Every structure is written in structure tokens, then in C-alpha cells.
Structure 1
Amino acid sequence: MARHVADSCPGVLRLHEAADGPLARIRVPGGRLGPMQWQVLAEAARDLGDGNIELTARGNVQLRRVHDAEALTERLAGAGLLPSRTHERVRNIVASPLSGRIGGLTDVHTLVPELDAGLLAAPRLADLPGRMLFSLDDGRGDVSGLGADIGVHAVATDDFALLLAGGDSGVRITAADAVDVMLAAAHGFLELRGDDPGRWRLRDLEHGAERLADLLGLAPGPDRLEFAAGRDIPIGWLEQDDGLVALGAGVHLGSLPARTAEFLAAIERTVFVTPWRGLVVTDMEEWAAEQVVRVLAPMGLIFDADSPWLLVSACAGRPGCAKSHTDVRADAAEAITAGRVLPPTDRAEWETGHIEPKPAPRQGVPDVPLLAPADVSVAGRQHWSGCDRRCGRPRGTVTDVVATDGGYRVE
């Protein structure tokens, strides 16, 4: 894809001027946040933002309507959430949330701090676009379908498939070499991109994956793994391999109130932000997990895997986005509470999490009827968008509910 400008992905030091005010995006490598960090985020959202913490599709978090950028920077730096002023936007690392606790071939969370430290230690890697994504999958296939630019997928306890531009490159590497190879690939991307700031992702380079593997001197083998965007996301009561309990929780349209975040901090456990805009609270005794559900379910966290809230995602919409035709989040929430978000028609597909790719959505098709918000009723996975850009649309099979200046179009 040919562009002519550098990516404008926001961070903490470079805010995005949204229609409702400045937006800060905070990178959370591997989605891991400790109790003190949750408390700092909660206080920052309440004191400096709109009172909510938004969860992103890369396991990061963001604050809207930031009115004191300097104060936010100081608070986040003190909590270890801004370890570098030069590299803050390039720390996009997703990892299998349950790795090391439930299933998987190996614990990829041990690689997250090593990869993050390697990114921070290389001055040249500060030039990576803010849209570049790294993934670490423990073999269960939950994050390898997210289309990362550079990733590894466990094929055995000590062996990984190297993923480039969202696909299996055919290259196999050892666990001991995984981080070094990923960092070398990041350097290689910058070399292949050259002086063109409009190449934001590896897939933007013609034959980028093949050229990068060749540049690294890595010979692909004959085997290729196939990855699909799955829906087997962690929700509810999850028994860890060590006998403790984790809880997977959904969050209404990915927006977490500061007060709820303070309760998460009070649990005094590691809580992971997942790439599905949810949470995993880890390492609890059964009695403690029961108490967490009793307290946080009434506050809006979703522990029921059949909840219709888990079927719906939405862009920012109004008032956050000037391009949006309407407040899609309010319309989507009303559809859910009114019972107009229906169960999937193919239950087996939903339960297995194996979803076949869907052709690119049609844009501006004249024969699709326009519906008033109260007339929109859709079954299964759906994404509500305020315009044809469809920002935040998840990968895989999704019904698009797209706002126009005359109503919603369902595709």
C-alpha cells in the first residue's frame, strides 16, 4: 500500500486530537498490569480524562479527553508505564493471555520483558511505525490470527514458527533464539522500508515476508501453519494448572470505568488486558475468585460466555470521532439491552472459535436498505461503525452495521 505520510498512531507523548478532546494510548506489552499500575490508571482516568479506561484490540489501554498531558506523563512514568520517551509507541506486543497458567506448549510471557527490553535498547527501533505489531503465541493459536507483522508461534516446548506479515514464513527457530530473531526482523523491516515513511506494516512491502526472511538469512521449510481469527476467548471461571483460579471478564464495548479499575487494583493480583478488549484476573484461591465475581459482576464485568455483549464491538463514534455519523456506541448498547443482538446462527462455529475469513465488506452498496437504530437486529458477531472506514473492526467473520447520514446499513 502506497502512502505518503508517517503513521500518526497516538501515544502518551503524542496525543491524538479526537473530536471530544486529546486521546492518549498507553502501550502494555503482553497486556500485563500490576495492582499499582491499575490504581494509577484509574486515578489518571478520573482526574485527567473522561473517567474511563478504554481497552484496545492490541491489549493496550487509552484515555480520552486528557486535559493535562504533562501530569499524565509524570504519573505513568512513575508507574513504569512509560519506560522510554523515544520508543513508547513501538511497544506493541500481544501474547497468549493464559500462557504459563492454563495449557499451551510453553510460557511465552517469559519472553515479553526480554522482547520489550530489546526494543527499548535499540535506538534505531524508535523509528518503527506505531502500527507495527509483535505477537507471542504459546501454540494454542489465540493471538497468531491477529495478523502481527512479526511473531512466533510455539510448535513444541522449545521451538517456534516465525510469523511474518501475519502468516507462517516456514522458518523454524528455537526458543532461545526467538527474541533475537524478532528484533533482527524489526531492524530488517526498517532496512527494507528505507526512507519511505508511508510503509507502516510489513504487508505494505511487496513480497515483504519473503524478502525479510531472505535478508535475515533464514531458510523456510516446507511446512506452513494456517491461522484464523478465533473466538475462543477467556471468559468465566478458569482453573489454572497450578490449582489456582483465573477469571476471564468481558468489558462493555471495551470501556472500563475508573471505579471498576480501582476494584481490580484492590484484588492485588496481576490482571491481563486481552486483545479482545477483555481482562484476565490471575492467581486466586477459589474463595477469592468467588468474591471477585460477586463484587465485579454487578459493576458490569461480564463473566458469562453467552452474554450478547461479547458479540458486539464498535468504533469510537460520536462525540469522539468527527467523521462518525452518529453515536454508534449508544445505539449498539441500546440494541443489546433491547434484545436485538441475537445468538449466532451457527453455534458450532461460535463454540469452536474457528472462523473462516470473510470477503472484504462492500462499501456504499445502493441496494442495501437503510435502517433506523431501533430497527437494527443482527445475529452473531457484529461491528458497529460510524462511517465506511470501519475503524476497530475485528478480524474474521463479522456482520458490519455501518452508519450513514440516512440510517444504518447492515452488510
Structure 2
Amino acid sequence: MLAAMSASSLPSRSPGDACARSSGDACPGALRLHRADDGALARIRIPGGVLTPHQAEALGRAAERFGDGELHLTSRGNVQLRGLAPDCGVELAGMLSGAGLLPSEPHERVRNVVASPLSGLDGLGAVDVRPWLTELDRILCGNDRATALSGRFLFALDDGRGDVDALGADLTLIGRAGGSALLRIGERDAVLRVPAPDGPRAAIVAAEAFLDAARETGAWRVKDLPHDATAALPADVVRRLGQAGITGAPESRPRPSEARPPVPGRVPGSRSEAALSVGVPLGRLDRAQWRLLAGAGGLRLTPWRGAVVTGIAPHRADGLLSELAGAGLITGPGSPWAGVGACIGQPGCAKSLADVRAEAGAAVGPAGRLPVYWSGCERRCGHPHGEWIDVVATPGGHRISHVRGDRNTEAATVLDNDPVVLAATVAAARGART
């Protein structure tokens, strides 16, 4: 049975609703494991999603030795290991540290950095953000105050193409031609122009300003600050930048409304070495898939639960792409899995009301115009940004909403959970044009 609902009648939280600290930061990490229904969970922060073959191999060994053997990609280009024994923490940390994945234990949960995954590969960005990424992580791990940031606070490094600028990070550096960069604070259209070489240092100055602004309110993220504190933050950052010897000038730049992932397939523009972009169905990689990726070249995990493989000899690219397709990965834009995402759902999460990954798989059909994300409860863990179809399991059925800019704008509910009706309703919503 299908029942229509207006946006104003939705009883749920909006996906973009802010929250403040009511208790300690419980975000899992590599050293602080989270207890889930399928065992302990570790979240390994990987700034920019960049992994060497050695690091990727170490993560695969860790998943096989301590967990369920699978690697789960997150919406921040990080990796989660699931099904861990609760007493494996010391051995796991040693393995990760030996691979260079824990450069600073006090900072391991605050190394949340996404970066344009095709930067320096296809020639489309204004700058190559890789030097920024290296410098930001170095400064972040050397800053004692940064350990007070929550595990949810997010930095983004956009090479100018607008992909990760659309992800709603707390602090976003945006590349510009001519030696300057823009620093976006929160999701505001007002940004600060800074010298490009000073960009990473400016981002840390802004993070310290946020920490002072959040001291009284307990805000986790910039969007959680009260309106007056948010409005005052840019001027405070300009003042602090001046004290640090960095020029910061206000400017205006609208945030892109849509974060576009790399198109699956061979990355255009590469010359001496080839690069491939692949998607990962539901962000879950089994042993064989991860081994194939880890052995193919360098990896850049993306915030869209995919990967870019770099450093491939051009004559190997087409054959490797075929291998990846044969392993079940998304290697072309026409895949029915393109744009389909889901939280972990049952049986891994006690809060979930449904096995949404199985439901998402059962509902897969022709590729839709809009991405779709299936959530087992109202928390919508890992949901995308921009415009998407939101499918949420509720006690009374599945609610299907069309989200624009993190707001539910229209909705319907499949009350009896009939899989055929559910799949048809989701397909219709994904293909709708406005």
C-alpha cells in the first residue's frame, strides 16, 4: 500500500539537522573500537583517501586477521573494519602503525580530510591538491589543540572543480588559478581568499577559532554553532590569520549544489601513467576485490564509496578494467549499482529496522537519474549530499523522500513493505524529473 505524505507532515529529522555535544565524542576510530551487533568496529581515517600499495595490503591483512574479511568504504573516503574481536585493539594498532596509517595516535580520529580524487590526473582542476593534503595532515598531527576536534569535524581540499566543495565540510580549501585559494568556513557562501601556499595553515587557524567558538555551546561541527557565533566566525578567522602573518580577505562564492563523483572507467587526460575510476556496490569490498585493487597500483578512496587506481602502465589499463568489472565493481556509468548506497542495516546495527542492504540489492534496476540511499533508521548514517532519493525504514514501512539541499521536499510511504512495490516506487522516484 502506498500512502502520500507532505513534506510538512514528516515526523523525522532532516538529514542536515545539527547536533551538539550532550556527552563525550563516541565516534569510533582505529584505537577506540565501537561495539556493534556484528562485533567490534574500527574506523581508519585515511586523509584524502590516499593509500600506497603497502598500506592497502596491510588493511586487507587486518580485515582478514581480525575481522570478517571485508572492507567497508565510508562517505569520507575512510575504511571501516567490522566483525572484530573486542580484544584485538593492541595488535590492530600495531599493524596499522607499522604501515604508516597512525602517524599520531592522539590525532587519529581527527584526520578527517576529503580531497578531489582526480586532482593532478585529468588536468581539470585549478591546482593539484596533493601538496596541500600532505601539509595539512602534517600540521594537523603536530597541533595539540586539534585533538579537541570531534571525530565528525571535516576538512575538504577541492582543486577548483567543485566536487568536494559540495560535501558540506566544516572547512574547505578551494584551489584557484594565480596563486590564491579560497577558505570556506562551514557551508556559507562567504569565503576568505588566502595565498595558496598558506592554505593548510589557514585551515588550522580556522579550526582553532571554531574550537573557541564551540567552547560554550559544545558544538561538534560549524553547522552546530548558534547563528550569532557562525556569523561572527569569519571575522574572527581574518583577525587570527593576520596575527599568524597570513592575509585573509572576504569574498563570495556560492557552494555547488551537487557533488559529482568521478565517472567510472578510464580517467581521461593521463599520459605516461593511466588511472581508473571504479565504484564499489554499497561500499563493501570482499577479500578478492580488495586484493585486486591493492595490487593494481596506488589507491585514492573517494567520498562516494569508490576508488581511483593510479600509476597503471597504459598498456595494462583496459585489461585491468575488465578484471575489475569481472570482480563485480562498477566500471561504467550505465551500471545498475551506480548511485545506490545504504547504511550497514541489520544484522550489523541494533538501531536498524531492516536489512536495507539486501533490500537495496533486491530493488536494483536500470540506472536512475538521482542517487538513492537506503537507511535502516532515522539517523541516516553516511547519507549523501545535494539531491537524492532518501529511503528510510520506519516502524510502519519505508518512507521514500526526495531530498534537495538536505531537506525533505516530498515523500511517500510503502506501508506493507512489498518488495515489488518498494522497488517500483524507488525506481519512479529516482527517474523523476522536475
Q: TM-score range by the shorter chain?
A: 0.7 to 0.9
Question: What is the distance in 2 between the residues matched to 1:86 and 1:228?
Answer: 35
Aligned match of 2:113: 93
Structure 1 counterpart SS, 2:250 = coil
Question: What is the distance in 1 between the residues matched to 2:352 and 2:203?
Answer: 37
Give runs of aligned pairs for residues 115-130 of structure 1, distance below 5 A.
115-130=136-151
Aligned match of 2:52: 34
- How many residue pairs get aligned? The number is 371
AA aligned to 1:113 is T
Q: Which of 77, 89, 108 is the matching residue for 1:69? A: 89
Structure 1 counterpart SS, 2:382 = coil
Structure 2 counterpart SS, 1:189 = helix
TM-score using structure 2 length: 0.82
Contact 1:106–1:157, Cα closer than 8 Å, also in 2: no
Give runs of aligned pairs for residues 15-26 of structure 1, distance below 5 A.
15-26=33-44
Question: What is the distance in 1 between the residues matched to 2:388 and 2:102?
Answer: 35
- 1:409 Cα deviation from its structure 2 partner: 2.5
- 1:147 Cα deviation from its structure 2 partner: 0.5
Aligned match of 2:162: 141
Structure 1 counterpart SS, 2:106 = coil
Structure 1 counterpart SS, 2:253 = coil
Q: Which runs of 5+ in 1 are unaligned?
A: 345-379
Q: CA RMSD in A?
A: 1.7
Contact 1:162–1:168, Cα closer than 8 Å, also in 2: no
Aligned match of 2:250: 221
- 1:195 Cα deviation from its structure 2 partner: 5.3
Q: Which of 253, 258, 262 is the matching residue for 2:282? A: 253
Aligned match of 1:310: 338
Matched, 1:203 2:232: no
Question: What is the distance in 2 between the residues matched to 1:228 and 1:160?
Answer: 20
- 1:140 Cα deviation from its structure 2 partner: 0.4
Contact 1:105–1:155, Cα closer than 8 Å, also in 2: yes
AA aligned to 2:286 is P
Matched, 1:152 2:142: no
Contact 2:338–2:367, Cα closer than 8 Å, also in 1: no
Contact 1:6–1:129, Cα closer than 8 Å, also in 2: no
- 1:4 Cα deviation from its structure 2 partner: 1.8
Judge which range, 279-288 or 33-42, deviates more.
279-288
Give runs of aligned pairs for residues 236-315 of structure 1, distance below 5 A.
236-267=265-296, 269-315=297-343
**C-alpha distance after superposition, 1:40-76 (max 9, x if no partner):** 1111111111111111111111101111222111110
- 1:17 Cα deviation from its structure 2 partner: 1.1
Question: What is the distance in 2 between the residues matched to 1:133 and 1:173?
Answer: 19
Structure 2 counterpart SS, 1:65 = strand
Question: What is the distance in 2 between the residues matched to 1:157 and 1:236?
Answer: 31
Contact 2:75–2:383, Cα closer than 8 Å, also in 1: no
Structure 1 counterpart SS, 2:141 = helix
Contact 1:162–1:169, Cα closer than 8 Å, also in 2: no
AA aligned to 1:343 is G
Contact 2:48–2:77, Cα closer than 8 Å, also in 1: yes
Aligned match of 1:57: 75
Question: What is the distance in 2 between the residues matched to 1:2 and 1:190?
Answer: 13
**C-alpha distance after superposition, 1:363-410 (max 9, x if no partner):** xxxxxxxxxxxxxxxxx3211111222222111111122212343222
Contact 1:312–1:381, Cα closer than 8 Å, also in 2: yes
Matched, 1:7 2:28: no
Contact 1:53–1:256, Cα closer than 8 Å, also in 2: yes
Cα distance change, pair 295–241 in 1 and its aligned pair in 2 (3 A): closer
